[in-house]
Amino acid sequence: MLNNLNSILIEGNLVRDPELKYTPKGAAVCDFVLASNRYFKQDEETQKEVSFFEVTTWSRLAEVCGEYLKKGRGVRVVGRLKQDRWTSPEGQPRSKVSIVAEHVEFKPQAKKDGDGKDGEEKAAEVPAEKADEAATDDAELKEAAGF
């Protein structure tokens, strides 16, 4: 039997720092909340609608997200929707839909200049003795993120 299509692609910014945990069997799990903005015109005025989505990552991707993501960082998430269902203590049926990420792309960060103002992102300068280490870290990050 074939699975139905269950796929989502969403971009946004982290609402707070991610939370990295480990299951009793040692599997890494990282949870974060993503805010996604939608702008539209209504009566000649631009309106903003913000939606919040809970995202879960697993394994090495969870470890990378836990290490590199911070509040405010922009990401693009590719994954699937997951619905949890339960009964409340009052006997009411409840449900929640969240995103299980299969791929997380980190968007470039704006760097602060010497005056503490946002500036263009600049290429990082790495001393020669750190170049091999930085290249290895970058390769690991890209591999873990699914590139």
Write out the chain's pLDDT in tens, 147 residues. 788 899 999 999 999 999 999 999 999 999 999 999 999 999 999 999 999 999 999 999 999 999 999 999 999 999 999 999 999 999 999 999 999 999 999 998 877 655 555 544 433 333 333 334 444 444 554 454 444
Q: Cα separation of 128 and 99, whole Å? A: 41
Q: What is the pLDDT of residue 124?
A: 32
pLDDT in tens, 118-146: 544 433 333 333 334 444 444 554 454 44
Decide: pTM greater than 0.85: no
Q: Cα separation of 63 and 50, whole Å? A: 27
